[in-house]
Every structure is written in C-alpha cells, then in structure tokens.
Chains A and B, each alone.
Chain A
Amino acid sequence: MNAFRLAGDMTHLISVLVLLLKIHTIKSCAGISLKTQELYALVFATRYLDIFTDFISLYNTVMKLIFLGSSFSIVWYMRRHKLVQRSYDKDHDTFRHQLLVLPCLILALLIHEQFTFKEVMWTFSIYLEAVAILPQLVLLQRTRNIDNLTGQYVFFLGAYRSLYILNWIYRYFTEPHYVHWITWISGLVQTLLYADFFYYYISSWKNNVKLTLPA
C-alpha cells in the first residue's frame, strides 16, 4: 500500500470520526444531510459484499467494518435518536436522492468489467459514491451557515478523494495492468464536485473568517 492510499484512507476515517464526534458528543447533526448519509450507507453495503468471502488483509476487513458500522450508526442517530433528530435540518435537506440511485444502477448494469452480481453491485457503489455528496453540498449552499465540524467533515472527505487520485496515478506507474477507467472517471467526477467547496473552504481558512458559501 502506498502513502497516498494510506493517507486517503486516514482522511476518510478522520472525516467519519469528525462527524461521529459532532453527533455523539454534541448531540447535533445540524447542517448534515441525512440523504447523503443514507447514500453512503448504501454505497458501503453494496461495495463490501465481499467482506466475508474474500479476505484481502486484516487492515482491509477492519476498515470495511468501520465504514459499514459508522455509516449505519450515523443514519440511525439522525433518524432515531431524540436529541440528534431535533437538530436535523429537514426542511432544507430536500434533495431527492432516489434520483441518484436509479441512474447509477442502470449505469452499473450497462457499464461494468464483469457481469456478475457482486461486480455489478460493486460498480453501482462506485458510481453512487461519486454523486452521494450532492445532497450535502446542496444543503450547505442552502443553509450557508456552516459550523466548524461540518466544514471539516466535508473538507476531509474531499481530501480523501484527492489522495485516492494520487494513489491511482502512483499505482498506474508501479503496478503492471493497473488500468481501471470506471474507478478513475467516477473518482475524478467525485473530486471535481468538491472543487467549489474547497475553494471557499481554503479562502475562509486563509483569511481567518467563518466559512460561508455564496448563494
């Protein structure tokens, strides 16, 4: 495993921990999109179907369990926990996430590397992950009042995607036959979705002012 990949996984892990910290400790999910969190739970559930059938490494299995467990518990907190539920900004989180699921499923059925159930589900999860952040970005844009933890959560998620791109470039040059257009194009699309947010995040940090997004 190269350094970019490890750093990517770690920023992904940090983003989840930041979100759990906010929800579990402060008992608030203000500014967090339940739609995005539900999409992530679906992403991990469909991607890690191999968790009990293909052993890759202890690291791999443990990380999969963490991402599955954290994504489902975040959804549980936001839907069922009395205090957390109350801080959920339901009126602004209106992105119809079903509209993302169906096109991704159709695309996975059309474009994949192997036509097997596991591989099509895996491909679906790759496509869905690329667009799953959209409800969150729309919510940030609508509320415009972004607290530090929410900003950091989205920042670390974006950092994770950028580092994975560096990881693919590294692997392309160091491993024979490492060519995966599906992952690369989806990953690139996903990273580009963060570009706007990154621009405002970094300029607010540089100027030492509170993060706001333009309407």
Chain B
Amino acid sequence: GVGETMPFFNQESLQQRLQALIDGARESWAYAIFWQSSSTSDFATPSVLGWGDGYYKGEENKNKRRASSSSANFVAEQEHRKKVLRELNSLISGVQAAGAGSVGDDAVDEEVTDTEWFFLISMTQSFANGNGLPGLAMYSSSPIWVTGTEKLAGSQCERARQAQGFGLQTIVCIPSANGVVELGSTELIFESSDLMNKVKYLFNFNI
C-alpha cells in the first residue's frame, strides 16, 4: 500500500495519499484536501491549519447541475472565474520551462464549476485551531461529518455554509497526525468507518 511504500512526508507523497484516498473509494468524492498544522512540539503556541495539498477529482454528475447557466449572474460569474484562471495560468506557465506543462486556453475557457471554484478558493484559506470545520476537527480530535444541504447551510462554520453555497452536499474533516484531511462531495454520502480507517492508515505519519 501507499502508506508502506512512502515513509516520507513530502508534496509528492501527500498527493499520492490524497489520490489513493478518493480514487479507490466507492463513494464519489469531488476533492480531498490536507490541511497541514503549523504546530510544533511547543503546545503553548496556537496552531494554524494551512493548505498542505489538495487533489481535485471532479463531480460525476456535473451536467445535472447546470440549470441556471443562461442567467446574467451566471455569465458574469463565469467571466470572473475564467479571468482569474487565465491569470493564474499565465503565472504558473511563466515559471515553468517552455513546453513543460503550460495549460492551453481551451481549458481556461471551459466552464469553471462551483466545485472547482470552491477548491481553488480553499487554497487561500487557513483555520486557527478550533475555527472552521477543519479547525474544529483538529481541536476536538474527532471527525466531523456533515451530510445534507440543510445541515451544511445551518452549520456554525462558515466553510460548511460556503460549501453548501457551491453545491456540495457532504463535507468531512478527519484529524490525523499533523493536520486534517477534508473531503467534499456533491452527492449525499453518509458516515462510514471505512473512510476513517483509510485516513488513519494513509495519513498517520510523522514529519
């Protein structure tokens, strides 16, 4: 398994663990994020969870959710998202060697879905211990599993409400060594010990 063959904590190994977690799952998760804790052995210093890495898989039934695609708001929002993506794309392409994976305009001009956008803006977020779903999971040392539009919308956590606004129906945060693993889906997925065990196996490593 991945956990046995990759003993070291690095970006590549983290990405493979996130992939292994949702590519092999029966449920259709749209993404997995590892929120990395800044904490050290000094327990007096408050820890912050920041972006460690993420794997975006996408939604299975994307076409079902395109009801409002002709509204003016939708068009304006898409223009904004594509503009941001275009800028990010040129920044990334600019630092890569010529021909080494620059992304063409076709990909940028394709609709940027709500789930993709939620994943992208997640990269700008961080959570103090006890704040937001990931921070709360870390603070309580127990998994948080929120299924259903109403539960997400009614959550005290801004991130859960934001997820619901972008069409997600399930969001899960599972604490692990040095951070929190978060998964999101546009489907209704109910709590399973299978996923918890997988996270325990794949992410309980020490830096």
Q: Are A and B part of the same complex?
A: no
- Give the interface of A toward B (CB within 8 A): none
